[in-house]
Amino acid sequence: MGPDATDAAGSESPVPFPRRAGLFSVGPPSPSDCFSRIAPPARVPGPARLSRRRRGLLPCRPPAQMRPSPMPMIATPSVHSLALLLLLSFFLGFAFEDFFEQRKSARPGGVRTFPLLSLGGGVLYWLDPTHLVAFTGGLLVLGVWLSIFYTVHLRERDDQGERNAGLVVLLLNVHAYLLGAIALALPHWVAVGVTVTAVMLLTGRDWLHRLVRKVDTREITTAAQFLILSGVVLPLLPAEPVTPLTSITPRQVWLALTLVSALSYASYLAQRYWQRAAQGLWMAGLGGLYSSTATTVVLARQAAVSESFRRQATAGITLATGIMYLRILVVIAVFNLTLARALAAPMLGLAAVALAIAALQYLIIKAPSGEATQPSERGNPLELGAAAVFAALFVAISLASTWVKTEFGTQGIYWLAAIVGFSDIDPFVLNLAQGGTAGIGEHAVAIAVLIAASSNNVLKAAYAVAFGGRRTWPSAVVLVGLAIAGVVLAAWLAKIAA
């Protein structure tokens, strides 16, 4: 570039001068405050040196791509969101005042305070939904005020001797404030869910405290162990077979154990801590989820002790078997939906027949005066001993199924199903449902499951007669009939498959 091209300042190309980003700066500089720095010319000798040393600022108009875009507008809250905000905050305040109505002491919150807090939180969130400066400031102010209130009233006692200030009161005020932003920013079901949960925790205080005092510490420890085994150990187990003897994987074994144990544990807790579970047929129904075989033994023994248990035992044994069919179908559906569809018609049919007969038995047999029930002591299905036995049976049956299939074919699996039915059929059923025995079609697996369930019914019929005698023989006859029906259905499936 020659000296003539740089002597005149007006001929120099302006370079935009970068602005320092400030608190209120948005985008590039605007035409009103844009300046440019004169570009330094090339180094040339002579008189042009003065122009090279010259520096100055000239106003400029930024190019189109640097012009500021209009500030985005904040979306206006919908009428539905505002109505939901007011409704939920009023509901929360109403529950708050109703719960503390009997306590004549100062507690901040209620049907007026909570809607105002929610509206305030919603407005502050709406003013600055990006940086949440105003919303955070309002939360800090509320926190400071609640802290002062808690400190002042902590030493006071109400009429019932309880402290005048509790953390639940403070947390509900914070909840009401946060509800404004939740109702405006998140889906409506989130706002409804958190509010209903808060109300249930508030109004269920006495029930929750009684539950804590009633539950044994060992139950909490056992449940914690189960959470570790299912939430920590299960994901770490390999999902590939570890031996050529069976295609079942350690993760499949543990997953089956987790499912069966969780179902049994729910039934166990209901029978132990729900008083109504020991009345009528509740124990039998829940026992069918736990173990129909164990329930049959318990009810037969109760019937043998006293005539007053005959009605409950007779109908309960049949009911537990009907629930067993449903439980097997649900467990299979979790692991193999195709197999569950193949078994749906026969399993649901057998379950319907069993439940209908149980209802007739309960209605026909006359209830003796002063009918009573005795709680049955059962082992916790989540104890490590029970879990270890189930896992060992699962692996053993998987190995036996593979060997029988190799040596005797599909007919050998049918004979194995008949033998396994005289013990715990869950490991066998789950092994087949997860494909633990290769080379067996869906119809063959369905036939094996029906045979195992029928064989198990014969075992329960023997238990009913052995422990209950003549008082439970009608249930034994029903169980044998269900076993025969299961074998007939299995033969029907075999004919269809052929």
Per the listing, tokens 């599909």 go with 410
CA gap 15, 48 in Å, rounded: 20
CA distance 363 to 52: 112
Residue 480 buriedness (CB in 10 A; 0-12 / 13-18 / 19+): middle
What would the pLDDT profile of 75-119 be if each residue is shown by its tens digit?
677 888 889 889 999 999 888 888 877 665 567 778 888 999 999
CA distance 395 to 399: 6
Average per-residue pLDDT for the chain: 76
Burial 274-303 (b: 16+ CB within 10 A, else e): eeebbebbbbbbbbbbbbbbbbbbbbbbbb
And the tokens for 2? 């020659």
Burial of 148 (0-12, 13-18, 19+ CB in 10 A): exposed
Using the CB atoms, write b or e for 83-94: b if 16+ within 10 Å: ebbbebbbbbbe
Contacts of 291 (CB under 8 A, 6+ apart): 264, 424
Residue pointed to by tokens 């829940």 = 286
- b/e 311-334 (16+ beta carbons within 10 angstroms → b): bbbbbbbbbbbbbbbbbbbebbbe
Q: Global pTM? A: 0.59
User: Would the pLDDT of 169 be above 50?
Assistant: yes
Sheet holding 35-38, edge to edge: 14-16, 35-38, 57-59
Cα–Cα dist 494/419, whole Å: 19
Residues 47 and 62: their CA atoms lie apart, in Å, by 32
**Distances in whole angstroms, Cα of residue 176 to Cα of each of 86, 92, 108, 253:** 10, 8, 12, 47
- What's the confidence (pLDDT) of residue 196? 93
φ/ψ region of 206 (left if φ > 0, alpha if ψ in -120 to 50, else beta) reads alpha
CA 410 – CA 440 distance, rounded (Å): 7
The whole-number pLDDT of residue 57 equals 45
Kindly tell me if the per-residue pLDDT of 346 is higher than 70.
Answer: yes
- For the purposes of burial, counting CB atoms within 10 Å of the CB of 129, is it exposed (0-12), middle (13-18) or buried (19 or more)? middle
Average pLDDT over residues 313-325: 90
Cα separation, 62 vs 31, whole angstroms: 6
Q: How far is CA 166 from the centre of its chain?
A: 30
What confidence tier does 248 reach under pLDDT thresholds 50, 70, 90?
confident
Per-residue pLDDT at 38: 45
User: Please, which pLDDT band fits residue 414 given cuts at 50, 70 and 90?
Assistant: confident
- Whose CA is closest to 237, among 225, 253, 258, 220? 253
DSSP letter (8 states) at residue 231: I
Residue 495 buriedness (CB in 10 A; 0-12 / 13-18 / 19+): exposed
Average pLDDT score over residue span 166-172 = 82
pLDDT at 258 > cutoff 90: no
Query: Is the pLDDT confidence value at 483 over 90?
Result: yes
Backbone torsions φ then ψ of 240, nearest 5 degrees: -115, 150
What pLDDT does residue 3 have?
45
Question: Given a cut of 50, is residue 10 above it in pLDDT?
Answer: no
Amino acid at 465: V
Nearest in space to 328 (alpha carbons), one of 359, 356, 354, 365? 354
Model pLDDT for residues 421-441, shown as the tens digit of each residue: 887 787 888 878 877 666 677
Pick the closest to residue 256 from 404, 434, 101 (CA basis).
434
Among 32, 8, 31, 29, CA closest to 17:
29
Q: Please give the Cα distance from 165 to 200 (Å, whole number).
A: 20
- Please say whether the beta carbons of 496 and 442 come within 8 A: no
